[in-house]
Amino acid sequence: MNFNDIFKSSFIENIASVSLLDMALALVLAFGIGLFIYFVYKKTFAGVMYSSGFGVSLIAMTMITTVVILAVTSNVVLSLGMVGALSIVRFRTAIKEPLDICFLFWSIGAGIVLAAGMIPLAVIGSVIIGVILLVFVNKKSHSNPYIVVVRCDDHDSEVKAKAFLDGKTERCVIKSKSAQKGEIELNMEIRLKDDNTDFVNELADMNGVQSAVLVSYNGDYMG
């Protein structure tokens, strides 16, 4: 093999399979769409702890998917090898929020559609999806649920505490109850009538009530 054979190699010929203009345009659009997905994720996040790293990964995933699909569409042989290579990838990070899966799939889907040359579909589709998420995720269909942990001395104080909470809240449902000698612990889900939580102080001062704890709970509830 001489110096001229190097430039006749199929590897060198593949350099021009995707033009620099197409690469630059696809990556710029992927960055813009990924940034929009990151913005929607930040505005609609309702979990316990916000992860900026996950938001940045949405931008990176959109761009990485675009690069991969550009390479696959330019070479049929590469596409077969890419399928085999990606099939051995395993993700160990647990996705705790169901909505996070939607954002991951959105980033991957936007990168695929964009690299396939369907720019209007990628841009308009992402805008529509983003607007729908902003409207429905931030919409509060009911008041936030709370958990009240009450420790009582006996059955009579338990009944009084439950009756008191029924009058002070919109909804009060016993989720769990544990009893031992001289102590009864109740875990109740409540829905507040307003933002006033002074009733917890009154509950703790009742005769027979040892303590009362109010905890905000962020979970999935029906009804």
pLDDT string in tens for the chain (223-residue length): 544 554 455 544 555 566 778 888 889 999 999 999 999 998 888 766 677 788 888 899 899 888 888 877 766 555 555 655 555 556 566 666 778 888 888 998 998 888 888 889 989 999 999 999 888 887 655 567 888 999 998 888 888 888 888 888 888 888 888 888 888 898 988 888 777 888 888 888 888 888 898 887 655 443 3
Q: Are residues 70 and 133 in the same domain?
A: yes
Q: How far apart are CA 96 and CA 51, in angstroms?
A: 12
| Total number of domains constituting the chain | 2
- To which H or E segment does residue 143 belong? none
Q: Are residues 128 and 152 in the same domain?
A: no
The domain of 169 spans: 145-216
Radius of gyration of the chain (CA): 28
Residue 130 lies in a domain: yes
Residue 68 lies in a domain: yes
DSSP letter for 196, please: -
Residue 223 lies in a domain: no
Q: Are residues 28 and 66 in the same domain?
A: yes
Residue 222 lies in a domain: no
Tokens coding 209: 């009530």
Q: C-alpha distances in angstroms, 2 versus 9, 12, 95?
A: 11, 15, 53
Q: Are residues 33 and 104 in the same domain?
A: yes
DSSP letter for 17, please: G
Question: How many CB atoms are closer than 10 A to CB 221?
Answer: 11
Q: Are residues 133 and 152 in the same domain?
A: no
Could you tell me the pTM of the whole model?
A: 0.61
